[in-house]
Structure 1
């Protein structure tokens, strides 16, 4: 038997490779002759560069940038000979901000722009931008400001590049932009397909977890609507309903209109870059995947959704191991896994599930492979 182990990380608990190792231990405990292939994955959000580092030799550059609240910090990006790989979460990430200080009305993506600016100065002409895990809802105007774009109010005042100021944008100028869009190829990689604004847009879906109140969410959504109107007027870009425009607080839209970027599905990109497609053609009997939390967002474009599509295409059964499963019926109906199990089903506490996730995954994978082999 040949088992492909291809999970995402369990956020706050285990890296994707640590999940692979735990699952492999459970399989070996049942039958050490079963062949296992460990292939950790990511969906384009935070941690994607760590996954790529498992497959490629990428060099690291450190840059002094502004964090989401304009404090100075040091952020990395990685590169090979011709391409820079920039993870927004490293400069403008939610995990960089203490929970009590999260405030996406006043946060900025300026630091992400500083990473891009550094890569451009070093001569990279291909830039891959991973935009998950942001602390922002500024539609990328912070990033754009770092690159020379200017935003003005109706009164002619230059505005701060933060979320709550989107509603005041009345003019956009790009005379001082530091690079030629025609000479650089940008790809923005994201894990969601949300539009820019509206009930399924950036503010209403994600801003609450970034510290926004109900009133602030309403204002941020109005700001995103105004932003959309102004970029269409001044930059000739219609980004309102572009799939992925609402990713990372509207950075999906910002990357398209300020960088002329192409949006690509995160899991598709990672699978393509890491050779996943060739693996599933290699007589795999079972795929085991998973992530920390499985819910309705999983079916939108996360790692497990990508696995389900490839498993169905190649007629390979796949199983899901998770920390917690919130929408089991929806997952089973849409993705058709062989089985779905979660650590929380074991009757443990949340702390136990997080602290002992590796041991629990080992036992769960042991039982899974035992049942599958019957």
Structure 2
């Protein structure tokens, strides 16, 4: 595949698309996009630089959609991860379509210095859904990512009317640490508007619900779990999976069941949600192929680049589109795992880590703006000077 207007190893370009994800716990996708843009313009003043901050389903999803396609941001109070009242939000793209990111009510950034996935809940996500339905949304896009939870979405389901009972037939609100106490489930009081609403759940990971590659073992540590808690959370999910299979005939061995602390399980069972790729859905909605037809270069980025980055996440999704349009892609990332570049997608020409410039991981976090700008300028000089 030939790239657009090559001259030796250089690419003479005037139109550059900047479409990064966030550097989690460091820089938002908006900050990343603007830092890259400013650095590019400093080296190539006459370049047309189009910024598209993006999210793969976690924090920043609502803002990404509203910026790209327009709409209204709706503010409201909901339960937070620990059932405290917080200021939350969602977006209305149009009068019939709402966009919700679960991180707005159950996100890791909301727990700050007190993460504990055995105690956190997705109840507030249900409150967002109810408000959107009451405002007339007949389609709800639900972003699964950036969660502080490991409750398999039962908190959300409880808010929407699903009743969970323990062995003593007591009604209770389960959390990650008490999923094994669920013995029976009643869906007779499920919110009536659920049946009239189409749900699309955005999920960009393929992890199973439990086991070595499941929600607890892969993601719970970053949510604050220690080794003992991880084992407990995994076992709790196994036990609830048995209840779901027995009562509803639901098999939870589908790819992505472990996303967002198992949130996809409740999304499928109680919302009958269609599970879709977050980045593919976003790129289709903004008509990305049309946008890059006349582009000469695409720059993306994310906090950590590893094998999962190429499996349905932001950089992987953009690489597929870039290859189809024959536009070269470069990625600027906070850090990257050791990978054979021969396994990169054809359009992905290089992955540049801020660790190549910083003195340590802590330094790269503290001075991410400086190193990202420096890396961008050096990339621009190597391509255009």
Q: Deviations over 1:197-254 (max 9, x none)?
A: 111111111111112222221221122122222223323432x122221111000111
Q: Is the 8 A contact 1:265 1:301 kept in 2?
A: yes
Partner of 1:147: 160
Distance 1:83 1:218, change over 3 A: same
Larger displacement relative to structure 2 (140-149 or 39-48): 39-48
Structure 1 residue ranges (4+ consecutive) displaced by more than 4 angstroms after TM superposition? 349-352
Alpha-carbon distance in structure 1 between the residues aligned to 2:26 and 2:229: 31
Q: Could you tell me the TM-score, scaled by structure 1's length? A: 0.92
1:85 matched to 2:96: no
Give 5+ residue unaligned stretches, structure 1: none
Alpha-carbon distance in structure 2 between the residues aligned to 1:76 and 1:373: 42
Partner of 1:262: 274
SS at match of 2:68: coil
Aligned residues: 370
Q: Is the 8 A contact 2:102 2:143 kept in 1?
A: yes
SS at match of 1:172: strand
1:271 matched to 2:283: yes
Quick one: which of 89, 100, 122 aligns to 1:76?
Answer: 89
1:306 matched to 2:317: yes
1:229 matched to 2:257: no
Q: Deviations over 1:81-118 (max 9, x none)?
A: 1112111111111111132x211111111111111122
Alpha-carbon distance in structure 1 between the residues aligned to 2:377 and 2:223: 38
Q: Deviations over 1:39-74 (max 9, x none)?
A: 222211111111112123322333322211111222
Larger displacement relative to structure 2 (7-16 or 285-294): 7-16
Quick one: which of 175, 187, 200 aligns to 1:187?
Answer: 200
1:342 matched to 2:316: no
Alpha-carbon distance in structure 1 between the residues aligned to 2:61 and 2:20: 12
1:45 matched to 2:58: yes
Partner of 2:110: 96
Q: Deviations over 1:324-344 (max 9, x none)?
A: 2233x2465233521221222
Partner of 1:23: 36
Quick one: which of 70, 76, 80 aligns to 1:57?
Answer: 70
Q: Is the 8 A contact 1:167 1:220 kept in 2?
A: no
Alpha-carbon distance in structure 1 between the residues aligned to 2:218 and 2:293: 37
Distance 1:174 1:331, change over 3 A: farther
Alpha-carbon distance in structure 2 between the residues aligned to 1:212 and 1:15: 25
Q: CA RMSD in A?
A: 2.0
1:364 matched to 2:375: yes
Q: Is the 8 A contact 2:358 2:364 kept in 1?
A: no
Distance 1:107 1:20, change over 3 A: closer
Partner of 2:222: 209
Q: Is the 8 A contact 1:208 1:217 kept in 2?
A: yes
Task: Measure how far apart 1:350 and its partner are.
Answer: 4.3
